[in-house]
Amino acid sequence: MTQRSDSRHLSSLTLIRPDDWHVHVRDGEALKTVVPHTAAQFGRAVIMPNVRPPVTTAAQAVAYRERILAAAPPPLPGHTPFKPLMTLYLTDNLPPDEIKRAKDAGVVAAKLYPAGATTNSDAGVTDLRKTYTTLETMQREGLLLLVHGEVTSSDIDLFDREAVFIDTELIPLRRDFPELKIVFEHITTREAAQYVQSAGNYTAATITAHHLLYNRNAMFSGGMRPHYYCLPVLKREIHRQALVDAATSGSPHFFLGTDSAPHAAHLKEHASGCAGCYTAHAAIELYAQAFDAAGAMDKLEGFASWYGPDFYQLPRNESTITLRREAWTPPESYAFGEAVLKPLAGGQALQWRMV
C-alpha cells in the first residue's frame, strides 16, 4: 500500500462538481425519490438501461431522458441543470443503424449485460460474437462500451466470475476492438484493477463506494444482511484493499460510478433477494469516508470529477461542491412509490457531509 500523508486535519474540501458514471434510477414513481438524490450531488450521471422493457432504441432513450429530467429538481444557483447521459442496452441483435441514431440523439454508450448476469439482464448478450458488427459501428462512431464483467456459467464459482470474465471475454474483446473505449464497470477484484491499469488508454473502470468500504463479511455479520448484496458481489478484504489502492492512486483509469441500484426493501428482504445497494442518498459522502480512511482525500477530486469526463471526452464540470467534516446520520428509509427503500448505511453515522 502506498504511504499517505495524513488528511485527518482536513475540515472541509471543495472539489469540481463530480459526476456519477454508472447509476440505476429505474422508472415511474421511483424516479421521484432517486433522481433528486443523484441530481443534488452530481452534474451528470450515466443512466443504466436495464429497465423494463430495456432501453434498446434511440427513441426509448430520448423518452426515458425526458422522464428523468421531469423528476429532477431545478438547479441551485451557480450550477448548470443536472444532465442524464443515456445508454442503450446491447442485445444479440441491436442493429448498427440504431447506434448511429443513438449517437445523433446524444446517447453516449451501450451497456453489455451477459444474459442472466444480474437484475433485468434476460435480454442480454448470449454470445459476444453476435454483437461484433454493432461493436464495429460503436468503435467508429465513438460510443463507449460499458461492461458488466461477469461470466454467467453456473459451474463458475460466484466469487470467481469477474476474474474468469477477464480471461475468457475481455482480453479477446480488447484485442478485436483496439480503439473501442471500454469501461469495465463496478470492478470488485484485484485482478480487475491490475488488468485495467495495464490495458492501455482505451480501457477504464468505475468503482463503487460500497466496494471501497466493505468486504464480503458485511453480508453475513450477525445474520444475513441483504442490503449489502449486490452484483458483482462483495469480495475478500485483499480485493477491497486493491480497489482502494486503485481508486486513490491518482490513475486516470479509475473513476466514480456508484452503481446505486434501488430495490423495494421487501424485494431485498426476501427468500430470493434482489441484487443492488442504494447509495445515491449519500454517494459522495460514502466515497469521502473511504478516501479519508485511506488518508487520500487529496485524490478524491481526480477520481470523482476529472478522470470520468476526460475518458468520455466531455468537459469537466465548472461549478464546485464542498464537503465538510461533520457527523450526520442518513435516514433508515425513504418512500419509494408504494414501497420503502432502505439506503446503504441508513441510520449509521457518516463523517463527511456535502454543504
Site residues (CB under 6 A) for ligand DOR?
A: 24, 50, 118-119, 148, 230-231, 261, 275-276
Site for Zn ion, residues 154 to 193, rule: CB under 5 A? none
Q: φ, ψ for residue 336 (rounded to 5)?
A: -145, 85
Choose one: 61-69, 154-162, 231-239, 258-266; the region binding Zn ion (CB under 5 A): 258-266
Q: How far apart are CA 244 and CA 215, in angstroms?
A: 12
Q: Whole-number minimum distance, CB 84 to Zn ion, in Å?
A: 15
Query: Which amino acid, one-letter code, is at 43?
Result: G
Q: Which does 137 bind (CB under 5 to 8 A by kind): Zn ion, ligand DOR, none?
A: none
Q: Whole-number minimum distance, CB 51 to ligand DOR, in Å?
A: 9
Positions of E strands within 232-278:
254-256
Q: Is 259 in the site for Zn ion (CB under 5 A)?
A: yes
Closest chain position to Zn ion (CB): 259
Q: C-alpha angle 124/200/104, rounded to 5°?
A: 50
Q: C-alpha angle 39/40/44, rounded to 5°?
A: 35
Q: Is 301 in the site for Zn ion (CB under 5 A)?
A: no
C-alpha cell of 245?
Answer: 489502492
CB-wise, 253 or 263, nearer to ligand DOR? Answer: 263
Q: Whole-number minimum distance, CB 185 to ligand DOR, in Å?
A: 8
User: Looking up cell 446491447, which residue turns up?
Assistant: 90
Residue 339: name the closest of 278, 285, 259 by CA. Answer: 278
Q: Which does 230 bind (CB under 5 to 8 A by kind): ligand DOR, Zn ion, none?
A: ligand DOR
CB-wise, 21 or 352, nearer to ligand DOR? Answer: 21
CB-wise, 46 or 321, nearer to Zn ion? Answer: 46
CB-wise, 211 or 299, nearer to ligand DOR? Answer: 211
Q: Which does 253 bind (CB under 5 to 8 A by kind): ligand DOR, Zn ion, none?
A: none
- Is residue 213 a contact partner of residue 249, using CB atoms and an 8 Å limit? no
Query: Which amino acid, one-letter code, is at 228?
Result: Y
CB-wise, 44 or 210, nearer to ligand DOR? Answer: 210
- Is residue 181 a contact partner of residue 309, using CB atoms and an 8 Å limit? no
Q: Whole-number minimum distance, CB 334 to Zn ion, in Å?
A: 19
Helix (H, G, I), strand (E, B) or coil at 163: helix
CB atoms within 10 A of CB 280: 29
CB-wise, 250 or 346, nearer to ligand DOR? Answer: 346
> 20, 245, 259, 292: which is the annotated catalytic residue?
259
Q: Whole-number minimum distance, CB 264 to ligand DOR, in Å?
A: 11
Strand partners, 167: none
Q: Which does 65 bind (CB under 5 to 8 A by kind): ligand DOR, Zn ion, none?
A: none
Q: φ, ψ for residue 87 (rounded to 5)?
A: -130, 155
Strand partners, 73: none
Residue 84: name the closest of 104, 109, 101 by CA. Answer: 109
Q: Which does 50 bind (CB under 5 to 8 A by kind): ligand DOR, Zn ion, none?
A: ligand DOR
Q: Whole-number minimum distance, CB 318 to ligand DOR, in Å?
A: 31
Q: Whole-number minimum distance, CB 167 to ligand DOR, in Å?
A: 20
Q: Is 20 in the site for Zn ion (CB under 5 A)?
A: no
Q: φ, ψ for residue 21 (rounded to 5)?
A: -90, 15
Choose one: 35-43, 136-144, 256-264, 329-337; the region binding Zn ion (CB under 5 A): 256-264
Q: What is the DSSP string of 175-230?
A: HH-TTS-EEE-S--SHHHHHHHHHS-TTEEEEE-HHHHH--GGGGTTTS--GGG--
CB-wise, 135 or 147, nearer to Zn ion? Answer: 147
Helix (H, G, I), strand (E, B) or coil at 262: coil
Q: Is 259 a catalytic residue?
A: yes
Q: Any idea which residues carry the catalytic annotation?
A: 259
Task: By CB under 5 A, name the binding residues for Zn ion.
Answer: 259
